[in-house]
Amino acid sequence: MNIDPTSSKSAFWLGYRDNIPFWLIVAPFGMLFGAVATEAGFTIIQTMIMTAFVVAGSSQFTALTLLQDGAPTLIILATSLAVNLRMAMYSAALVPHLGRAPLGMRALFAYFLVDQSYATSINAYTDNPQMTLIQKCRYFMGSFTCLLPIWLISTYVGALVGAKIPPEYALDFAVPICFIALSAPMMRSLPHFIAALVSMGGTLIFISAPYSTGLLIAALLAMIAGVQTENWLKRRTDND
């Protein structure tokens, strides 16, 4: 993909176009959250407020589960933050490209930063080093402009459908399946696998921790294990 260095509009539409394939992922995921949320007792308005303010499917599912368990607000916030810590790494990777943008624009980008917009944007910036700051900003705007309406509409549709699903047809089973589908594509290296194994083991060991705080412990152990594995691989490479 080549971006015309003289055009800002083309950068926006390229960002939009590059994210259209993700509709196949975002739409079912949004519908699933809307259905599960209303099945858990949320009204359609509450579901839409949550999905519009959080804009993070995995954290929303986590918070929803903890809310059903009656967990304290602090635990819900901390666990949801742990689930979405990868956004901090995404933000750090985008700083060389978008760090000189105005503060208000950077705040907007941070609010709408999701896996898909990050992946397509960082690839576009890498493949087109001649892009100007305004082009990079326009490309990122195009990416989340493409995804956000689909996320909101699909959640609303799911909430409408979920409100009509009889209680005996529970959808709780879909949540772990969805998390597996999200996690599997991320297993790209040994540190990823080690972190995943440690997180699974930690979750099982601390499964009886109150308010699902075992997730926080497991996440911390997984991050430590992943970093240590990466450092070990780096030392091994340096020694070779």
- What are the residue ranges spanned by the domains of the chain? 9-169, 187-240
Contacts of 232 by beta carbon, 8 Å cutoff, 6+ apart: none
- Nearest Cα to Cα of residue 155 among 64, 19, 20, 21: 64
Helix 9-19, helix 115-127: angle, nearest 10: 130
Cβ atoms of 12 and 138 closer than 8 Å: yes
Task: Return per-residue pLDDT of the chain as tens, 240 residues.
Answer: 555 544 556 899 999 999 998 898 888 888 889 988 888 889 999 999 999 998 888 888 888 888 887 888 888 888 888 778 778 878 888 999 999 999 999 999 999 999 889 889 998 999 899 999 999 999 999 999 999 999 999 999 999 987 676 666 655 565 566 566 556 666 777 888 898 899 889 989 998 888 777 877 888 898 889 889 988 988 888 886
SS3 at position 28 = helix
Q: What are phi and psi of 2, to 5 degrees?
A: -115, 135
Q: What are phi and psi of 226, to 5 degrees?
A: -65, -45
- Output the six-digit token pair for 142: 């195009």
Of the CA atoms within 13 Å of residue 14, those in its CB half-sphere come to 22
CA 190 to centroid of chain Cα atoms: 22
Q: Could you give the CA distance from residue 184 to residue 177 in angstroms, rounded to a whole number? A: 11
Secondary structure letter of residue 189 according to DSSP: S
Q: Residue 176 has what pLDDT? A: 65
Q: Could you give the CA distance from residue 190 to residue 230 in angstroms, rounded to a whole number? A: 8
Kindly tell me the number of DSSP H helices and DSSP E strands found in the chain.
12, 0
Q: Could you give the CA distance from residue 184 to residue 181 in angstroms, rounded to a whole number? A: 6
pTM score, whole prediction: 0.73
Q: What is the DSSP string of 126-183?
A: HH-TT--HHHHHHHHHHHHHHHHHHHHHHHHHHHHHHTTS-TTS--TTHHHHHHHHHH
- Nearest Cα to Cα of residue 174 among 57, 80, 55: 57
Q: Residue 143 has what pLDDT? A: 94
Q: Residue 27 has what pLDDT? A: 86
Q: Residue 5 has what pLDDT? A: 45
Q: Residue 1 has what pLDDT? A: 54
Q: Residue 189 has what pLDDT? A: 79
Q: Residue 177 has what pLDDT? A: 61
